[in-house]
Amino acid sequence: MFKIDLHIHTRLGGDSLIHPDEVVERARAVGLDGVCVTEHHAYDLSEPFEEISRTTKFPIFRAMEYRADNGHLLVYGVQASRGNFPPGLPIQKAVDWVQKNSGVAVPAHPYQQSLAGQYLGDDILKINGLYALEVLNGSVSAADNRRAEKAASRLKISGVGGSDAHGLHVLGKAYTCFPAPVTSMNELTTALKTGNYFPVWNQYYDGPKETVRQF
């Protein structure tokens, strides 16, 4: 099993307390084999992690979190930015753009309501062409995760897990288990397309310790 927290934010994205230099030590301490940094709307902001990954020999992948008109998408395998991928597109259009560019778009926390009361909710069921859904997010309620898990099974797609950490204590709280080691962003994108993985609550944290789906 290769354990990757597929959804973390750091100070590089401006809305997290996690210092980039703290990530690897914490990730190792909570038993992860890798992390994926997903700053908002910006692939390029996480560039310093290339050097951190090299010097620590710890796998750090770089993706981004995109805000569509009514929901968030984790975008893997496309080096997108506000310039080539402006925020606020209809979510189906955003998914299609990512996947036409050989990436993988995974709706994040689809049942979490925003402060403005907007959320994707059951509209998730209308999105075509998804490979996976985030069904275990370490920063939303158990009920929101359960609804996402149900939606993934209705859509007959796999679920991923990630902490959505904005603070160090949350990093690794949920993660995704892959059957084999993943050593590059290309490999991660390819692995995400296979559907062969499952989300897990981290045993190092308090709270529900359920494995949502097994192979």
Alpha carbons 111 and 48: distance in angstroms, whole number: 32
* DSSP notation for 50-67: HHHHHHHT--EEEEEEEE
Task: Pick the binder of Zn ion from 26, 62, 72, 213 (CB under 5 A).
Answer: 72
Contacting Zn ion within 162-191 (CB under 5 A): 164
Structure tokens at 190: 């390819």
Q: Which residues pair with 211 in a beta bridge?
A: 200
Contacting Zn ion within 86-125 (CB under 5 A): 108
Contact stretch for Zn ion (CB under 5 A) within 48-56, 71-79, 144-152, 186-194:
71-79
Alpha carbons 92 and 125: distance in angstroms, whole number: 11
User: By CB under 5 A, how many residues form the interface with Zn ion?
Assistant: 4
**Residue closest to Zn ion (Cβ):** 72
CB 64 within 8 A of CB 185: no
**CA-to-CA separations, 179 to 1, 104, 188, 215, in angstroms, rounded:** 5, 19, 12, 9
Q: Is 134 a binder of Zn ion (CB under 5 A)?
A: no
Nearer residue to Zn ion within complex by CB, 26 or 72: 72
Nearer residue to Zn ion within complex by CB, 16 or 158: 16
Contacting Zn ion within 8-67 (CB under 5 A): 65
The minimum distance between CB 110 and Zn ion, in angstroms, equals 10
Structure tokens at 209: 């310790």
Interface positions with Zn ion (CB under 5 A) = 65, 72, 108, 164
